[in-house]
Amino acid sequence: MTHLSKATAAGGALLALAALLAAGPAQAAPGVAHGGDYLYLTVTQGEDQSGDARGAVLLCDPPQGYSRAAEACAELTATDGDVTRITPAKDAMCPMVYAPVTAQARGEWNGRPIEYRETFSNSCQMAARTGPVFALDD
């Protein structure tokens, strides 16, 4: 999926993803239509989801969706798809600047639904906490 520059485009992309997934065969088991684990990821400037947004669909069989997809899939595989269990970077030094970003993930991992949303004080804090998962291309 390509770079999104507006929050409204993120909503449109989610609708497009839903339509794509719904287009699979009606008798297919969950997860078959998209070929494996996937997450729709967004990073929005601000706390209220009204700022500029970037988004991507991360597919992990094989890894694709953005430049660090393979690293993101490896992190998620190690935590069974649980973003909250990713080991934070130990050597990160982030400025104490309040410029909030909200990271959100929705999708499916190992056949179970994933819903994650967290607001970080700035993008450095988000990167230190979530590694390559939300390192979406600009």
DSSP letter string over 25-68? -TTSPTTTTTTS-EEEEEEEESSSS-S-EEEEEEEETTEESSTT
The pLDDT value recorded for residue 100 is 96
The pLDDT value recorded for residue 89 is 87
Stated pTM of the model: 0.71
Q: Which residue type does 70 have?
A: A
The pLDDT value recorded for residue 36 is 72
CATH of 7-13+34-134, one of 3.30.350.10, 3.60.130.10, 1.10.3720.10, 3.60.20.30: 3.30.350.10
The pLDDT value recorded for residue 14 is 40
The pLDDT value recorded for residue 51 is 75
Query: How far is the CA of 106 from the CAs of 80, 93, 97, in angstroms?
Result: 14, 29, 28
pLDDT means per 10 residues in the chain (138 residues)? 41 43 36 66 86 92 94 95 92 93 95 95 96 90
The pLDDT value recorded for residue 37 is 85
Of 91, 95, 84, 86, the closest CA to residue 123 belongs to 95
